[in-house]
Amino acid sequence: MLILHYLGLDHIGHISGPNSPLIGHKLSEMDSVLMKIHTSLQSKERETPLPNLLVLCGDHGMSETGSHGASSMEEVNTPLILISSAFERKPGDIRHPKHVQQTDVAATLAIALGLPIPKDSVGSLLFPVVEGRPMREQLRFLHLNTVQLSKLLQENVPSYEKDPGFEQFKMSERLHGNWIRLYLEEKHSEVLFNLGSKVLRQYLAALKTLSLSLSTQVAQYDMYSMMVGTVVVLEVLTLLLLSVPQALHRKAELEVPLSSPGFSLLFYLVILVLSAVHVIGLTEPHQRGRTGLPVMRWSETKATEAPLPPKCSEATRSGWYRCAVGSPA
C-alpha cells in the first residue's frame, strides 16, 4: 500500500486562489504523475493474479478565496475516483457523478482489502465497487457491513430495536437466510436471482438508514458538559484579570480581590455544588447501564455464508465468530 499526498494545489490556492494561472500547470503536472503511477501498476499486474486499486481523491475542496476551513459546497465537495482492472467497464456520464459520503470510503476500502471494517465507522459500502462480483459475495459483503453498523447502533442507542435501520437489518438477514437455503438447492434459477436482488436492495436500504442514524448520533454534542467547561474557563479568566492589578503592584504575592470572607465562602460552595451535580449527572447513566447486565460465557463457531446467529459478534480475521452460549454467569 502506498499513500501519496500532493500539496502543490493547496499551496497555490492559499497564495493566489483557485483562478490562479498556476493552477492549470499544476493540474497538468498531476495528470502526468497519475499516468505514470497507473502505467506502473498495470505493468506489475502481469506478475501477480491480484488486481491493483488506485484511489484518487481530495482531502478538501477550495473556496473562491483559496481557503478550506468552512463548510461551503466548494470546500467540502471533492472528487473520488477508483481505478482498477477488477471493475466492469460501463458507460457513464462523468458530468453527473454520484454523490457519496466521505465516511463510506473507510468501509469500502476495508472490504476491498479483506480487512475488518473499523469498529466505529459509520460509513456504508460503495456498492459499485463490488457490483461485478457474484451475487453470493455481494450479499456477504453487505451483510458484514450491516452487522458492523447494527452492533455500533446497539452500543450507542438504548432503543436500537425500534430504529428503522435495525428492523430493516433483521428483515435482510431473514431474507438472506432464505436465499442461502435456495442457493444450496439450486445454484442457477430465475427465482434465486430475483430473491437475491430483493435481499440486495433490502441490505442497501438498511445500510443507508443505519448510517444516517449513526451519523445523527455522532453529530449530537454534550451541550451540558460544554457549558460547564465554558463557565469554568470564564471563571479562571475572570480571576486572572482581577489578579493582574495586584500582580503589577506587588511582585511577591498575588491576591484575588474578593469583597469579604462571606463572599469567598459562597463562591466556593457554588463551585462545589456545580461540580457535584456535574459528576452525578455524568456517572448516573453509566451506573444505570451497568446494573443487571448478564455476564456471558463466550465460545467460537466457524464462519459460514449464513447470517450471524443470535448473540454472535462479527467474524475475526481467522474467519471465526464469537458467540454467547449458556446462561448468564
pLDDT confidence of 244, banded at 50, 70, 90? Answer: low
Q: What is the per-residue pLDDT for 255?
A: 53
Mean pLDDT estimate for the chain: 77
- Per-residue pLDDT tens over the stretch 165-202: 899 999 999 999 999 999 998 777 888 999 999 999 99
Q: What is the per-residue pLDDT for 172?
A: 93
SS3 323: strand
Taking alpha carbons only, the member of 28, 89, 86, 27 closest to residue 58 is 27
pLDDT confidence of 263, banded at 50, 70, 90? Answer: low
Q: What is the per-residue pLDDT for 158?
A: 85
CB-CB neighbours of 74 under 10 Å: 16
Q: Which residue has the higher pLDDT, 9 or 256?
A: 9
**Across residues 88-106, what is the average pLDDT?**
81
Q: What is the per-residue pLDDT for 68?
A: 84
- In 3-state terms the chain splits into helix, strand, coil percentages (rounded to 5) of 55, 5, 40
pLDDT confidence of 296, banded at 50, 70, 90? Answer: very low
- Percent of the chain having pLDDT more than 90? 27
pLDDT confidence of 137, banded at 50, 70, 90? Answer: very high
Q: Which residue has the higher pLDDT, 232 or 162?
A: 162
Q: Indicate whether 311 pLDDT > 60.
A: no
Q: Indicate whether 84 pLDDT > 70.
A: yes
CA–CA gap between residue 103 and residue 170 (Å, rounded): 23
Q: What is the per-residue pLDDT for 37?
A: 92
**Across residues 84-89, what is the average pLDDT?**
82
Q: What is the per-residue pLDDT for 239?
A: 73
CA 189 to chain centre: 38
Burial of 308 (0-12, 13-18, 19+ CB in 10 A): buried
End-to-end CA distance of the chain: 45
SS3 132: coil
Q: Indicate whether 274 pLDDT > 60.
A: yes
Q: Indicate whether 249 pLDDT > 90.
A: no
- Per-residue pLDDT tens over the stretch 71-80: 788 888 888 8
**Across residues 206-227, what is the average pLDDT?**
80
Within 8 A by CB and 6+ apart from 122, the residues are 103, 149, 152, 211, 214, 215, 218
- Per-residue pLDDT tens over the stretch 57-66: 888 888 888 8
pLDDT confidence of 157, banded at 50, 70, 90? Answer: confident
Joined together, the cell numbers standing for residue 144 give 458484514
Domain boundaries, the chain: 1-86, 99-220, 224-283
pLDDT confidence of 319, banded at 50, 70, 90? Answer: very low
DSSP annotation string for 286-315: HHHHHTT----EEEEEE--SSPPPTTB---
**Range with the largest mean pLDDT of 40-54, 93-107, 113-127:** 113-127
